[in-house]
Structure 1
C-alpha cells in the first residue's frame, strides 16, 4: 500500500480496486470544477466531469449499483473509497441540494442516484422549462461568448433529457437573440 506522501504504489494484486489513498487525496474541485445547483444549468457538466473521474479511477462500481455496499462493509478499502465519493458529491453541490440528499445511511450509489433523480425524474417539466429558457434567451448586455455559453448549457441540459437540438437551431437562436 502506498503511503500518503509517496507517488508510487506497492500494490501487486492485479484484481485490487483503486488505491484508497490516491482517491482520498484527490482534489475533486480540480476534476469537477462546477457546483451542482437547481438554479443554474450545471447538471450536464457536473455529471460529465464525474463520469470521467469514475472512468479514470475505476470507480464505477460504487455508483452504478453493480455492488451492494451492504456486502462490502467488511472491506475497509472499499468503504473508504465509498465515503470519499460521498464527500466529493457533498462538496460539489449547493447547500440546498445538500439538505435535500444528505443522510447518514447512504452509500455513494444512493447519493448519486438521488442527485441524478432530482434532475431527470421530472423530465417533462424540465424539458418544458429548458425549451422555454432556450427559445426565450436574449443576449442583452452580455458578450457573445457569454450568450453562446448560456445557450450551449441549455442545449446540453436538453440533450441530457433526451432532446436533440440541431446545430442549425442553435445557430438560429444565437442569431435571433
Structure 2
C-alpha cells in the first residue's frame, strides 16, 4: 500500500511500529522474580499476560523460530533480544546469574528458568512443606506478613505439585497463632470458615 505526494508520486506507507518497542521499563509492569517475595507461578502469569499484550508470546511459548531465509527473520531476532532483556530484567541477581548465557534466545532462557524451579520437585516440596507447617505468627512482624507468607508458601507448593486447599490453609493459619489467640482459634476450628473470613476473625 502507498500514499501519493502532492506531485502525484507514490510513497511507501510506513510500517506500523511493533508494540514491543513501546515498552520503556518492564519492571514497571512485571515484578522481579526472587522465588520468595514473588513466586515463580505469579511471575509466569504476569509475564505471560504482558507477552500477550505486546504480541511477543511466540518468543516464549515454543513457537518455531523463523528460518534465516524468512523475510521476517531479522525483525524476529531484534524483538527476541528485547524479550530476552525483559526476562533478564525481571530476575533477582542470583537467578540472573544462573540462566545467563551468550548467544541464546528468549525461549531458551525461559526454559532454563523453568527448570530451575520445576526440577528436583521432591526436595523442594519437602523444604517448602517444612516451612509451611512450622511458620508461626511470632516469627513475623505482623499478622499481614504472617498471612502473606502462608499464601506465598502455598503458591510455591502448588508449583511443585503439592497444592494446599483452603481448609488446610485455614488450619495452618490457626496452628501458628500464639496462646493469646486461643479463643478465636477455637471458634475458627469449630466453624471452618473460608480463608478471608478466618483472617477477619483473627484481626
Task: State TM-score, norm by structure 1.
Answer: 0.80
Q: Deviations over 1:93-138 (max 9, x none)?
A: 1222222111111100000100111000111111111111111111
Match of 1:62 among 51, 59, 69: 59
Q: Judging changes above 3 Å, is the alpha-carbon distance between structure 1 residues 90 and 70 closer, same or farther for their aligned structure 2 residues?
A: farther
Gaps of 5+ in 2: 1-13, 177-203
* Residue of structure 2 in register with 1:167 after alignment: 166
**Which of these two proteins has the greater Rg computed from alpha carbons?**
2
Task: State TM-score, norm by structure 2.
Answer: 0.70
Kindly tell me the number of residue pairs found equivalent between the two proteins: 161
Q: Judging changes above 3 Å, is the alpha-carbon distance between structure 1 residues 161 and 55 closer, same or farther for their aligned structure 2 residues?
A: farther
Q: CA deviation at 1:174?
A: 0.8
Bigger Cα displacement from structure 2, 61-70 vs 129-138 = 61-70
Partner SS state of residue 100, structure 1: helix
Q: Distance in 2 between matches of 1:93 and 1:106?
A: 16
RMSD: 2.4
CA contact (8 A) 2:36 2:152 kept: no
Q: Judging changes above 3 Å, is the alpha-carbon distance between structure 1 residues 53 and 29 closer, same or farther for their aligned structure 2 residues?
A: same
CA contact (8 A) 1:134 1:151 kept: yes
CA contact (8 A) 2:66 2:72 kept: no
